[in-house]
Each structure stands twice: as C-alpha cells, then as structure tokens.
Amino acid sequence: AQSVTQLDSQVPVFEEAPVELRCNYSSSVSVYLFWYVQYPNQGLQLLLKYLSGSTLVKGINGFEAEFNKSQTSFHLRKPSVHISDTAEYFCAVRSVDGADGLTFGKGTHLIIQP
Amino acid sequence: DSGVTQTPKHLITATGQRVTLRCSPRSGDLSVYWYQQSLDQGLQFLIQYYNGEERAKGNILERFSAQQFPDLHSELNLSSLELGDSALYFCASSTSTSQPQHFGDGTRLSIL
C-alpha cells in the first residue's frame, strides 16, 4: 500500500513570485508519481509525471518537479506564478505493476495574491 | 478537454435510491478507473477495469458496483444510497496500466 502526504493544505503566494508545493510519499514497492491540478468545478488535469529516467520532469504551464528517491519526495515548483494558477494541486502515486489506482494526497490550495 | 465524457453532470436523489453513472473513455483507452472525491475522505480510488475485466479494487462499498462494456464505456452503479454517498465521482481512462490517467469532469451526486 502507498500513502501520500502534502504538507501544506494552503499556500498563499504573490503573483510573479516562485512557489514550491511539497509532496512526500511512502510505499513498499516502486511507484510512478504524478501531479494533477483541479480548477473550480472541473476535473483533474495532468500537470506532469515521473515514470523513469531523469529525476527532473517538466510539465505544462511552466511547472516542474524533482523526484528524490532517498527523501521519498516529489515537490512541485514554478519560478513565477500567475493569477490563473490559483487552483487545487494533488500529488499522486501508483505502483509500477499497475495493480491499483492512484493514491492521492489531500491536496494543496494555491492562492495567488495580486 | 480530456476526451473522457461523464454523464450526467449533476444528479440529485433521495436516500435508499439507486443511480447509474456513465463514463465514455478517451478513444483507444482500454483502462477505466472510478474515483470518489468528498470533503472528508478526499480523492479515493474505487475500482479499475481493463478491456472489460475487473483489474483492481480500492475502497469500494459493497453497495457499489461497476462494469465495462464491449464498447469500453463503463457504468458505476450506486444502490441503497446514504447521505454520506454525496460526493463528486470521477472516471479516468488510460491506454494501459503504466500510462497516466486522464480524468473526466465528474458527476456531482447529491443525496437529500
């Protein structure tokens, strides 16, 4: 079984400032890692994924994340946020053998202040 | 637009009733997943189907069941509904179990 911890339920940031959303996971098996974004009244949109290879992955909308196996972390970063980035962000994991669905963290609400 | 279609968008019903939620996956995707999103439980995996066969079960109640049809669309059946079943139900699909899942916009179920 896996678990995902998103350390901050809410992160307020000024527009054009950098942001980091933290995610730590626990698993007894190898996992794939994902970040999804949910805008109000919408479904989840895939931001980026780590399946294998380079530990720094780039996603849509200028976001990137770094997989750190020793710290079991997959933090999401953006160098300069925009008001349109206001949304709920979910970190998720899934076992490599695919014998399960995604396990999500509780989400981080990113609030961009003008 | 993710390409995953869920109907209906909203459903209001009463306790004890039964409802069916429908999902059409992205063209070519063989895997379908169902998730429940509620304020107290967050996002929880319910069940996965791959090409018509049940592949994995998560926190799905015995009152809930699902199936995937030959045309690959899927239905989630919820019966003997309780107030606590009020939630957003998402369907997701992927080409295979190793690929990312793409989510529909969800069905909001309200139990009165």
What secondary structure letter does DSSP report for A40?
Answer: T
Q: Do A43 and B106 touch (CB under 8 A)?
A: yes
Bridge partners of A31, per DSSP, are A95
| Residues A101, B106: C-beta atoms closer than 8 Å | no
> Is residue B25 within 8 Å of B73, Cβ to Cβ?
yes
CB A11 within 8 A of CB A112: no
First and final CA of chain B: distance in angstroms?
31
Residues of A whose CB is below 8 A from B35: 101-102
- Give the separation between CA B109 and CA B10, rounded to whole angstroms: 6
B23 vs B68: CA distance, rounded Å: 9
Taking the C-alpha atoms of residue A51 and residue B98, their distance in angstroms, rounded to an integer, is 8
Q: State whether residue B1 sits within 8 Å of chain A by CB.
A: no
Strand-pair partners of A64 = A58, A77
Q: Decide the pairing of beta strands A44-50 and A31-38.
A: antiparallel
Does the structure show a pLDDT above 90 at B2?
Answer: no
| Tens-digit pLDDT profile for residues A29-87 | 889 999 999 998 889 999 999 988 889 999 999 999 999 999 999 999 999 999 999 99
Count Cβ neighbours within 10 Å for each residue of A3-28 and write b for 16 or more, e otherwise: ebebeeeebebeeeeebebbbbbebe
pLDDT at A20: 97
Residue of A nearest to B38 (CA): A106
Contact call for A49 and B100, based on CB within 8 A: yes
Strand partners, A46: A36
DSSP A99: -
Rounded Cα distance between A94 and A102, Å, is 5
Residue B59 clears pLDDT 80, i.e. is over it: yes
Q: Within its chain, how far is the Cα of B75 from the centroid?
A: 7
Residues of chain B above pLDDT 70, percent = 100
Q: What is the pLDDT at residue B9?
A: 96
Mean pLDDT of chain B: 95
Phi, psi of B73 (to 5 degrees): -70, 160
Q: Please, which pLDDT band fits residue A1 given cuts at 50, 70 and 90?
A: confident
Which of B2, B45, B98 is opposite residue A102, by nearest beta carbon?
A: B45
Question: What are the contacts of B48-57 at 24+ separation with CB within 8 A?
Answer: B48/A100, B48/A101, B48/B97, B49/B74, B50/B97, B55/A98, B55/A99, B55/B31, B55/B97, B56/A99, B56/A100, B56/A101
* Predicted confidence (pLDDT) per residue in B9-45, tens digit: 999 999 999 999 999 999 999 999 999 999 889 999 9
Asked if B2 and A43 come within 8 Å (Cβ–Cβ), the reply is: yes
Per-residue tokens: A15: 């527009």
Give the per-residue pLDDT at B11. Answer: 97
Chain A: give the shortest CA distance to residue B112, in Å.
Answer: 21
